[in-house]
């Protein structure tokens, strides 16, 4: 496994035997800006080269799973917002579809379409943040402002449809919380037209910038088998060349009706599975999301999106594992019901947590500055890692 | 050696491409607004501060039960028999004095789950977002308009009513029991 693009000989320490050297333990985070929240990584370094990296998590632990056992089925939805707070819609969707499958609930067509539209919009918003903060980690400040300008447009759309900008509580069991207001569909289509040329802008300003490529290509290579063994999923796994997307391979909601490509890393700038590939998968995925939104809005049926929302949620006793594709990967909700008003157990298989677990396997042998690039390319959200 | 210069060339060329984007951006309109001076009008559905129209509240506590973080606290006192408490805007008759309706905006998670179960549309989220304070305790919003004296008076009356009711019930029960006993007393000799 090639860990770094710097030749090995460069790291050989030319020190006389009389001089004592030792490993240095370095604590990176939890206040380090490039750790995307409150992640602490304990690094053992040999000079500038990392010999081991150990993520310390738990600074943002909020007992989601235990808390879910003490509130009603519906009240869990606002708390799922707070797992991955950058892509709340996708979190709502996973939990809600899990419950619907347990209840054998048919959902109104209009609501299904609206769900797909908001989820894909949120995927774009999340990938935009991934892009911007990744550039910020590497040292490019400008793209960050550009992506936030466009993300703001998505948040405005969300604010119009559900009133919130970050924690939506929009997707409900049996439908959605609000029907789309008049003219919302046209506004989203307008955004799609606006957004397509912007992707080229990001590519010009960051993706194909030589300095950026030098920093990211061939760095932090996750071979496909390592990625699979560590349970990496989502764009991080697709960056390693694994063609796996739950939206296509295990369709939920109405994703099987749409025509879109699953993007995989091809090693265009270096090795397959390097940080640039993971980054590129996200850029290309945004274009695919726009495609899905266009198709969903084209066939948006008339009707009442709240028609099938039940008054009381009665979940029959049993258990179900629901997995959905969020912007970070495979989000699983393992729901156990004993037939009462509250969940017996809601276990979350969070993609960011599993993606982060690959860090100790990738980190040894890279430089500290490259570790920042690796963490950024995994696109973790600490709210979901710690839950 | 050639690669070295090629890298330098590519770096400069791609930087210029990026600069082209920023240069073009120079001639677009600014997307930021000067916040305290210029304010954005928020959409109708914006979920900011909670507001309760107390004239419409019937004290059913549906919002209190729906709240996932328990930030609403309601206390009600039953109205008197021939007391007219008025009607809500959708024509429902009010039967309870809502003597306490506290919402702690510091606890609120802005999920708007309380808004949907309300039968009269009394509680709603408003696009009002400027309510920061220096003290967290001021975030506790009290919507009920009853003074402490009124509350204690109402509570006293309810207690008395309850007592009277309990006494009446007890008397009724006693009477029934006695009647039963009497009936049993008369029955017993007959069966023997």
Question: Do A159 and B66 count as a contact with CB atoms less than 8 A apart?
Answer: no
- Among B18, B46, B113, which would you mutate to test the A interface (most chain A Cβ atoms within 10 Å of its Cβ)? B18
Do the Cβ atoms of B46 and A149 come within 8 Å? Answer: no
Mean of pLDDT values over B57-61? 84
Residue A7 has pLDDT above 70, yes or no: no
pLDDT band, residue A334 (cuts 50/70/90): very high
Mean pLDDT score across all residues of chain B: 83
Q: What fold is seen in the domain B50-147? A: Alpha-Beta Plaits (3.30.70)
Of A229-243, A248-262, A350-364, B146-160, the poorest mean pLDDT is in: B146-160
- For residue A68, what is the nearest residue in chain B, using CA coordinates? B68
pLDDT value at position A124?
92
The answer to whether residue B56 scores a pLDDT higher than 70 is yes
pLDDT tens figures, A149-187: 899 999 989 988 888 888 888 888 888 888 888 888 899
Query: Helix (H, G, I), strand (E, B), or coil: what is residue B130?
Result: coil
Complex ipTM more than 0.85, yes or no: no
Three-state SS annotation for chain A = CCCCCCCHHHHCCCCCCCCCCCCEEEEECCCCHHHCCCCEEEEEEECCEEEEEEEECCCCCCCHHHHHCCCCCCCHHHHHHCCCCCCHHHHHHHHHHHHHHHHCCCCCHHHHHHHHHHHHHHHHHHHHHHHHHHHHHHCCCHHHHHHHHHHHHHHHHHHHHHCCCCCCCCEECCEECCCCCCCHHHHHHHHHHHHHHHHHHHHHHHHCCHHHHHHHCCCCCCCHHHHHHCCCCCHHHHCCCCCCCHHHHCCCCCHHHCCCCCCCCCCCCCCCCCHHHHHHHHHHHHHHHHHHHHHHHHCCCCCCCCCCCCCCCCCCCEEEEEEEEECCEEEEEEEEECCCCCCCEEEEECHHHHHHCCHHHHCCCCEHHHHHHHHHHHCCCHHHHHC
Which residues of A fall below an 8 Å CB-CB distance to B?
A: 71, 74-79, 81, 142, 146, 149, 152, 159-164, 167, 169, 177-178, 181, 201, 204-206, 208-211, 214
Tell if the CB–CB gap between A209 and B112 is shorter than 8 Å: no
Q: Who has greater pLDDT, B27 or B186?
A: B27
8 Å CB contact of A75 and B116: no
- Helix (H/G/I), strand (E/B), else coil: B141: strand
Domain boundaries in chain B?
50-147
Residue B124 in tokens:
């709603």
On whether any CB of chain A is under 8 Å from the CB of B116, the answer is yes
> Residue A339 pLDDT > 80, yes or no?
yes
> Mean pLDDT throughout A57-76?
88
Mean pLDDT of A263-274: 84
Percentage of residues in chain A having pLDDT higher than 90: 8
Residue B192 has pLDDT above 50, yes or no: no
pLDDT of A129 higher than 80: yes
Average of pLDDT values for A310-325? 87
Tell me what the mean pLDDT of segment A242-267 comes to.
86
B47 near A CB under 8 A: yes
* Cross-chain Cβ contact B11/A211 below 8 Å: yes
pTM of the model: 0.85
Q: Do A163 and B43 touch (CB under 8 A)?
A: yes
**Mean model confidence pLDDT for chain A:** 86
| For residues B171-191, average pLDDT | 75
Q: What percentage of chain B has pLDDT greater than the value 70?
A: 95
How confident is the model over A213-248, as pLDDT tens digits? Answer: 888 888 888 888 888 999 898 898 988 888 888 888
Q: Name the nearest CA neighbour of A210 among A138, A258, A158.
A: A138
- pLDDT tens digits, one per residue of B96-120: 888 888 888 888 888 888 888 888 8
pLDDT at B190: 52
Residue B15 is nearest to which of A178, A201, A209, comparing CB atoms? A209
- Evaluate if residue A13 carries a pLDDT over 80: no
Whether A2 shows a pLDDT value over 70: the answer reads no
pLDDT score for B187: 59
């Amino acid at each position: 496994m090639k860990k770094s693009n710097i030749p090995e000989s460069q790291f050989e320490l030319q020190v006389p035997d009389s001089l004592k050297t030792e490993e240095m333990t370095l604590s990176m985070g939890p206040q380090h800006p490039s750790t995307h929240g409150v992640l602490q990584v304990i690094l053992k370094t040999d000079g500038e080269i990392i010999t081991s990296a150990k993520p310390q998590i738990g600074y943002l632990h909020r007992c989601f799973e235990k808390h879910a056992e003490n509130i009603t089925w519906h009240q869990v939805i606002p708390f799922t917002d707070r797992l991955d707070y950058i892509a709340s819609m996708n979190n709502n969707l996973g939990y809600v579809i899990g419950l619907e499958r347990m209840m054998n609930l048919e959902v109104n067509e209009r609501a299904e379409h609206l769900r797909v539209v908001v989820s894909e919009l949120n995927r774009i918003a999340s990938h935009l943040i991934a892009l911007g903060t990744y550039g910020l980690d590497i040292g490019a400040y400008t793209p960050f402002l550009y992506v936030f300008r466009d993300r703001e447009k998505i948040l405005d759309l969300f604010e119009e449809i559900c009133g919130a900008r970050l924690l939506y509580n929009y997707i409900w069991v049996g439908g959605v919380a609000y029907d789309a207001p008049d003219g919302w569909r046209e506004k989203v289509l307008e955004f799609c037209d606006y957004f397509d040329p912007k992707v080229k802008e990001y590519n010009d300003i960051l993706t194909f910038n030589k300095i950026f490529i030098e920093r990211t290509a061939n760095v932090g290579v996750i071979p496909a088998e390592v990625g699979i063994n560590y349970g990496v999923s989502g764009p991080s796994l697709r960056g390693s060349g694994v063609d796996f997307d739950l939206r296509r391979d295990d369709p939920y909601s109405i994703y099987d009706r749409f025509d879109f490509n699953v993007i995989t890393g091809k090693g265009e700038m270096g090795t397959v599975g390097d940080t640039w590939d993971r980054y590129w998968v996200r850029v290309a995925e945004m274009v695919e999301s726009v495609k899905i939104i266009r198709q969903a809005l084209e066939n948006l049926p008339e009707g009442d999106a709240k028609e099938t929302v039940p008054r009381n949620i009665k979940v029959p006793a049993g258990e179900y594992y629901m997995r959905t594709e969020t912007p970070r990967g495979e989000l699983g909700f393992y729901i156990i019901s004993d037939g009462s008003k509250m969940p017996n157990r809601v276990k979350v298989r969070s993609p960011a947590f599993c993606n982060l677990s690959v860090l100790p396997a990738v980190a040894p042998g890279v430089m500290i500055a490259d570790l920042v690039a690796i963490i950024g390319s995994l696109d973790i959200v600490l709210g979901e890692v710690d839950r | 050696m050639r690669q070295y210069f090629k890298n330098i060339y590519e770096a400069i060329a791609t930087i210029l491409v990026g600069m082209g984007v920023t240069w073009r951006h120079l001639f677009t309109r600014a997307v930021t607004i000067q916040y305290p001076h210029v304010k954005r009008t928020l959409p109708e559905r914006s979920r900011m501060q909670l507001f309760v129209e107390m004239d419409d509240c019937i004290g059913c506590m549906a919002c209190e039960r729906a709240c996932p973080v328990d930030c609403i606290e309601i206390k009600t006192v039953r109205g008197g028999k021939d007391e007219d408490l008025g009607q809500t805007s959708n024509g429902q008759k009010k039967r309870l004095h809502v003597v306490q309706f506290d919402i702690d905006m510091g606890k609120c998670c802005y999920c708007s789950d309380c808004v949907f179960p309300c039968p009269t549309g009394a509680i709603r989220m408003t696009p009002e977002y400027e309510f920061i304070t220096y003290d967290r305790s001021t975030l506790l919003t009290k919507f009920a308009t009853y003074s402490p004296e009124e509350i204690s008076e109402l509570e006293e009356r309810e207690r008395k009513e309850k007592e009277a009711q309990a006494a009446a019930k007890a008397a009724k029960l006693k009477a029934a029991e006695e009647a039963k006993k009497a009936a049993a007393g008369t029955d017993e000799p007959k069966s023997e």
